[in-house]
């Protein structure tokens, strides 16, 4: 995988460090901006899009901690690499816990920083390719459902039958089975095909906003309602509305949804009169709605109103014979237009066939995309597939690479235990050995789950940590 050229902001008040870092990063092909203090860095971060920020913790004016906090709130959310001296390692570790990408201890080799940035560049490069693929898929989104197995032929027959009516449909299936594709196929084959197909993910909105999203609102109906807005039901008038993740809809909105289904009217928030709508509702869920109704989490009357017809989508593991079709489909999707389909080795096929695909078709699509990227358009072999799929046939799964923050925490724990042992369990002496206060030592012991370690000095002195 090629390393993406990144736009990087380097912040350090030491001109020698700044110069060496900039020279190394530019030699690696990155675009670099610099700042000598925190205020200048914050101004640049607010006005320009950076993908990586490399910053010292100790800076004039605004320190690296505040700069990290601003970077985390930035819409682009650049990765942050912390540069720190030995005395401020604890600050770096805390920033790692909060989401910093990495840290380097001064003095460091600029080439080591280039390697760390390169790892981020690989991730950014992959994200760019994935985003481009998603955009391409969105532009060419249709109603194609791939599959020729007996369960899929049965499903396609039922879709054609159901599409002829206006009855509400509940599409049930595990995550990644293609519930929205089924809903789009129902719409395309129905008499409403010339109308709008509108999809809303009921789990994507907080309870306070979901009703406004579904039913609309008038200007001033609630704080932030600066203008009138039609709800999804009104947008889908004359067409089909997909209520995805229907099991997540709060009880407060379920009563209003029931009324829409019963009477064909919606009441926008703040409106004086209801609005009549003509919408075919298709709901989708990966949960057991009957069980949720029995538990009081879903209205039973709404369950029966939505569940006039149920379409169950089989998981990929039950679709024997569809794997070759799906693999070819995803290869065509993720390869450049006109590019020939690459060969797939026997080992790769065996791994794909043995993998359970708990994420179903979506997981398979991601796996093929992963393989296409790593194989660079050439033949796809076992090593091009994701590690968990390779493990399906080799049983040789590499130990997961531990995050830096976990390694640092483990090293700190071992050092604390050694200090306590050398101090004979006395915390006062251990704190002296470590060069920290008793209070800091107590906090670190508690964070490590070692608060009971050692001989409590306060029992001897009557003091507290």
pLDDT at 154 over 70: yes
The pLDDT, as a whole number, for residue 86 is 62
Q: Within this chain, do residues 55 and 96 fall inside the same structural domain, yes or no?
A: yes
Q: Within this chain, do residues 297 and 155 fall inside the same structural domain, yes or no?
A: yes
Q: Within this chain, do residues 368 and 413 fall inside the same structural domain, yes or no?
A: no
CATH code assigned at 419 = 1.10.10.60
Residues 6+ apart with CB under 8 A from 413: 448, 450
Q: Within this chain, do residues 329 and 308 fall inside the same structural domain, yes or no?
A: no
Average of per-residue pLDDT values in the chain: 83
Question: pLDDT per residue over 280-301, tens digit each?
Answer: 999 999 999 999 999 999 999 9
The residue from 392, 413, 436 where one domain ends is 392
Q: Within this chain, do residues 265 and 176 fall inside the same structural domain, yes or no?
A: yes
* Stretch (H or E) spanning 7: strand 7-11
Q: What is the DSSP letter of 87?
A: G
Residue 398 inside a domain? The answer is no
Are 50 and 5 in contact by the 8 Å Cβ rule? The answer is no
The pLDDT, as a whole number, for residue 48 is 84
Cα distances (Å, whole numbers) of residue 76 to 33, 118, 403? 16, 19, 23
The pLDDT, as a whole number, for residue 463 is 41
Are 230 and 269 in contact by the 8 Å Cβ rule? The answer is no
Place of tokens 């009081």: 296
Give the number of other Cβ atoms within 10 Å of residue 69's Cβ: 14
Q: Within this chain, do residues 34 and 172 fall inside the same structural domain, yes or no?
A: no
For the chain, the domain total comes to 4
Residue 397 inside a domain? The answer is no
Cα distances (Å, whole numbers) of residue 177 to 89, 318, 338, 357? 46, 11, 28, 10
Residue 73 inside a domain? The answer is yes
CA distance 330 to 324: 10
CATH code assigned at 374 = 1.10.8.60
Q: Which stretch of 4-18, 62-76, 89-103 has the lowest confidence by average pLDDT? A: 89-103
180 alpha-carbon distance from chain centroid: 19
Q: Within this chain, do residues 174 and 269 fall inside the same structural domain, yes or no?
A: yes
Residue 177 inside a domain? The answer is yes
Q: Within this chain, do residues 171 and 310 fall inside the same structural domain, yes or no?
A: yes
CATH code assigned at 195 = 3.40.50.300
The pLDDT, as a whole number, for residue 180 is 94
CA atoms within 13 A on the CB side of 137: 19
Instruction: Kindly state the tokens that stand for 61.
Output: 């004016």
pLDDT at 133 over 70: no
Q: Within this chain, do residues 250 and 158 fall inside the same structural domain, yes or no?
A: yes
Q: Mapping DSSP to helix (H, G, I), strand (E, B) and coil, where does residue 169 land? A: strand
* Stretch (H or E) spanning 220: none
Residue 145 inside a domain? The answer is no
The pLDDT, as a whole number, for residue 3 is 66
Residues 6+ apart with CB under 8 A from 81: 52, 53, 54, 55, 100, 101, 102, 103, 104, 113, 116, 117, 120
Question: pLDDT per residue over 205-249, tens digit each?
Answer: 887 788 888 888 777 666 666 677 788 999 999 999 999 999 999
Residue 69 inside a domain? The answer is yes
CA distance 426 to 457: 6
CA distance 321 to 149: 6
Residue 169 inside a domain? The answer is yes
Antiparallel, parallel or unpaired: β 52-56 and 79-84:
parallel
Residue 87 inside a domain? The answer is yes
Residues 6+ apart with CB under 8 A from 120: 6, 51, 52, 79, 81, 101
The residue from 275, 297, 314 where one domain ends is 314
- Provide the edge-to-edge strand list for the sheet that holds 31-35: 31-35, 7-11, 52-56, 79-84, 102-105
Q: Within this chain, do residues 72 and 98 fall inside the same structural domain, yes or no?
A: yes
Q: Within this chain, do residues 415 and 379 fall inside the same structural domain, yes or no?
A: no
CA distance 417 to 447: 13
Residues 6+ apart with CB under 8 A from 334: 133, 368, 369, 372
- Percent of the residues in the chain that have a pLDDT greater than 90, as a whole number: 35
The residue from 367, 392, 417 where one domain ends is 392
Are 321 and 148 in contact by the 8 Å Cβ rule? The answer is yes
Question: pLDDT per residue over 360-414, tens digit each?
Answer: 999 999 999 999 999 987 889 999 999 888 876 666 554 444 567 766 777 787 7
CA distance 446 to 438: 12
Question: pLDDT per residue over 42-75, tens digit each?
Answer: 889 888 889 999 988 888 888 888 888 888 888 7
Residues facing residue 104 across a β-bridge: 83
Antiparallel, parallel or unpaired: β 265-266 and 275-276:
antiparallel
The pLDDT, as a whole number, for residue 193 is 93
CATH code assigned at 41 = 3.40.50.2300
Residue whose C-alpha is closest to residue 144's, from 365, 337, 398? 365
Between 462 and 382, the higher pLDDT residue = 382
Q: Within this chain, do residues 89 and 194 fall inside the same structural domain, yes or no?
A: no
Q: Tell me the H-state helices in 7-83.
A: 15-27, 38-47, 64-73
Q: Write out the residue range of the structural domain in which residue 305 sits.
A: 150-314
CA distance 104 to 108: 7
What is the pTM assigned to this prediction? Answer: 0.54
């Amino acid at each position: 995988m090629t390393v993406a050229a990144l736009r990087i902001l380097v912040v350090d008040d030491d001109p020698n460090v700044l110069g060496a870092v900039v020279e190394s990063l530019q030699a690696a092909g990155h675009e670099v901006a610099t700042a000598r203090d925190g205020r200048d860095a914050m101004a640049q971060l607010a006005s320009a899009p950076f993908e990586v920020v490399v910053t010292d913790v100790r800076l004039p004016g605004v320190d690296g901690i505040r700069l990290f906090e601003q970077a985390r709130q930035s819409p682009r959310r650049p990765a942050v690499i912390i540069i720190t001296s030995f005395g401020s390692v604890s600050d770096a570790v805390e920033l790692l816990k909060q989401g910093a990408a990495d840290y380097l201890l001064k003095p460091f080799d600029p080439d080591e920083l280039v390697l760390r940035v390169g790892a981020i560049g690989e991730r950014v490069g992959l994200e760019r390719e994935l985003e481009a693929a998603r955009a391409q898929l969105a532009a060419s989104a249709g109603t194609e459902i791939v599959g020729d197995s007996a369960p899929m032929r049965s499903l396609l027959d039922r879709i054609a039958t159901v599409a002829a009516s206006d009855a509400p449909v509940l599409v049930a299936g595990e995550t990644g089975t293609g519930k929205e594709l089924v809903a789009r196929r129902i719409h395309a084959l129905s008499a409403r095909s010339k109308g709008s197909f509108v999809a809303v993910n009921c789990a994507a909105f907080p309870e306070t906003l979901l009703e406004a999203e579904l039913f609309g609102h008038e200007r001033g109906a609630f704080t932030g309602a600066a203008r009138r807005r039609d709800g999804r039901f009104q947008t889908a008038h004359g067409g089909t509305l997909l209520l995805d993740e229907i099991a997540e809809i709060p009880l407060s909105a379920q009563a209003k949804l029931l009324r829409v289904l019963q009477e064909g009217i919606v009441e926008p928030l703040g409106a004086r009169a209801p609005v009549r709508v003509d919408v075919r509702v298709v709901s989708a869920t990966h949960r057991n709605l009957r069980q949720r109704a029995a538990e009081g989490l879903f209205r039973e009357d709404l369950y029966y109103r939505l569940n006039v017809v149920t379409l169950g989508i089989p998981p990929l593991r039950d679709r024997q014979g569809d794997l070759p079709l799906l693999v070819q489909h995803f290869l065509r999707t993720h390869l450049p237009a006109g590019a020939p389909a690459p060969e797939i080795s026997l080992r790769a096929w065996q791994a794909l066939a043995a993998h359970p695909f708990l994420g179903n078709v979506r997981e398979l699509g991601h796996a093929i995309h992963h393989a296409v990227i790593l194989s660079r358009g050439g033949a796809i072999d076992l090593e091009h597939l994701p590690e968990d799929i390779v493990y399906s046939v080799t049983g040789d799964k590499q130990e997961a690479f531990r995050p830096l923050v976990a390694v640092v925490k483990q090293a700190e724990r071992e050092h604390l235990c050694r200090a306590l042992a050398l101090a004979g369990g006395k915390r006062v002496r251990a704190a002296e050995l470590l060069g920290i206060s008793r209070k800091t030592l107590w906090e670190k012991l508690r964070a490590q789950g070692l608060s009971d370690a050692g001989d409590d000095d306060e029992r001897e002195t009557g003091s507290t940590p």
